[in-house]
Amino acid sequence: MIVPGASFETIARTAAERGVVRGAEGSVEEWLDKRIALHRTHPGQSLQLQSDGRWIQVSERKTSDNGTVVVYTDVTDLRQQTALLELLQGVAAAANEALTVEQALRFCLERVCAHTGWPVGHVYALARDATDELVPTDIWHLDDPERFKGFREASMETRFALGVGLAGRVLASGNPAWIIDATKDPNFPRANAAGGAGIRAAFGFPVLVGRDVAAVLEFFAGEALEPDEALLKVMANIGAQLGRWSSGSVPRMRCVRPRTGRRKRTAPRVVSLPT
């Protein structure tokens, strides 16, 4: 791709045509015009997203003989760390401004889904009875409500006992949990509904009030994915922040209302571990 004597335009065009640069697919000429204009008028530093998800910092410097020295640096890790820090700060700021628990949790769902690109987010809350089970709430993020209708309905009819399903595992451990493929996980009771909606990977994290789990936020992707430990660490911090915002009061967190409707409904089924 880069050989002695090759012009900048040739190098940039080759990268675009080979699909190296994200955003150039299907519009090589348009992307190339913008890239050449940037090269000619604004030499310096710019960020470039590659098709494989890496972020490359491009540093350009003009030479005395009218040439250009270009240095490409992989800054993917730094970029991801910055994005996670911004997510953490954004959720903390929103929680401080929220008037209700629901507002804070809903904003958190939206921000996490936007950051990850995952299409589904949902909140399970601790039941307001003596069961210590998790019950579904009406707090959802759905990129495509029609596509995920069946999964949403299955979730709204299910409450989880300690250790059962993704939410129950988080409840039992008090830590974030990740499922690579929910359709193949033996401890994911909504597997059939997940498969029907094209859901695969999942993760969840607790909202901790002191040492107690008051709610679990769960998220779902359309492909099987390996655990992202850096992401889970930030999610744990977000859960702790949401818990601290509740002023250390478990009853306040319990005010997240379970699913209710104006028409009579069948009570959510309780899923528990086999004996």
Domain range 78-271, CATH architecture: 2-Layer Sandwich (3.30)
Output 32 or 82, whichever has higher pLDDT. Answer: 32
The owner of tokens 């929220």 is 98
> Minimum mean pLDDT among 61-65, 102-106, 162-166, 218-222: which range?
61-65
Rounded Cα–Cα distance for residues 245 and 227 (Å): 28
What is the per-residue pLDDT across 184-209, written as a single tens digit (0 to 9) for each? 999 999 999 999 999 999 999 999 88
Closest C-alpha to 202, from 88, 241, 87, 184 = 184
Classify burial at 63, counting beta carbons within 10 Å of its beta carbon; exposed 0-12, middle 13-18, buried 19 or more.
Answer: exposed
Region 21-38: mean pLDDT is 75
Name residues whose C-beta falls within 8 Å of residue 231's C-beta, 6 or more positions apart in sequence: 84, 116, 203
pLDDT band at 163 (very low <50, low <70, confident <90, very high): very high
* Minimum mean pLDDT range among 25-34, 58-67, 145-154: 58-67
pLDDT of residue 98: 66
The candidate with the shortest Cα–Cα distance to 249, out of 149, 148, 101, 127, is 101
> Which one has a higher pLDDT value, 141 or 45?
141
The CA radius of gyration of the chain, in Å to the nearest whole number, is: 23
Q: What percent of the chain has pLDDT over 90?
A: 35
Task: Report the C-alpha gap between 174 and 188 in whole angstroms.
Answer: 18
Give residue limits of the domains in the chain. Answer: 8-74, 78-271
Angle of CA points 105, 85, 223, to nearest 5°: 70
pLDDT above 90 for 275 = no
How far is it, in rounded angstroms, from Cα 211 to Cα 239?
12
Per-residue pLDDT at 266 exceeds 70: no
Question: Are β-strands 120-126 and 134-142 bridged in parallel, bridged antiparallel, or unpaired?
Answer: antiparallel
Given a cut of 70, is residue 265 above it in pLDDT? no
- The confidence score (pLDDT) of residue 47 equals 65
- Tokens 């955003």 belong to 23
- For the ranges 5-9, 22-26, 108-112, 174-178, the maximum mean pLDDT occurs at 174-178
Residue 217 is predicted with a pLDDT of: 96
**What integer pLDDT is reported at residue 190 of this predicted model?**
96
CA 238 to chain CA centroid, Å, is 12
> How far is C-alpha 222 from the chain's CA centre?
12
* Helices (H), ranges, 98-201: 101-116, 149-156, 165-173, 191-197
Read off the pLDDT of each residue in 63-86 and give the average, rounded to a whole number: 66
Across the range 47-57, mean pLDDT stands at 66
Contact status, residue 222 vs residue 198, Cβ threshold 8 Å: yes
pLDDT of 20: 74
CB pairs under 8 A, 24+ apart, for 32-39? 36/8, 36/9, 36/12, 39/8, 39/12, 39/68
